[in-house]
Amino acid sequence: MNDEPTFIDVLSMDNLPIGATKKINTEIGDILLANVKGKLYAVDDMCTHEDSSLSLGCLKDELISCTLHGSRFNVRTGKPMEEPATEALNRYPVRVENNRIQVCLTPF
């Protein structure tokens, strides 16, 4: 049995500059990629409060804001900073190989 996590190729690094986010459609749903000062993070794109895409929100340092009711989530930890959202986002391993961003679809 192979326990190696499987990474899928999703995007060129050139398309995710520092401070940017990008919604990626995958077989398990939409994932939000974020580039925070050169460090990459991948979390669920859907807010845990109601159905709203976090890709519509604004990234400020590690915090992405939900445009529907204003909760902010930390893209490094997945945790909401304030209500109404109370549940954390799933986080996914992300890496860069040959300038391509790759994401593992198995959450941490």
Which positions touch ligand FES (CB under 6 A)? Answer: 47, 49-50, 52, 66, 68-69, 71, 84-85
Which residues, at least 6 apart from 72, have a Cβ–Cβ distance to it below 8 Å? 63, 64, 65, 66, 80, 81, 82
Q: Are 80 and 48 in contact (CB under 8 A)?
A: yes
* Residue 80 CB, nearest approach to ligand FES (Å): 8
Q: Which residues are 36's β-sheet partners?
A: 39
* Residue 92 CB, nearest approach to ligand FES (Å): 19
Q: CB-wise, 35 or 65, nearer to ligand FES?
A: 65
* Residue 51 CB, nearest approach to ligand FES (Å): 7
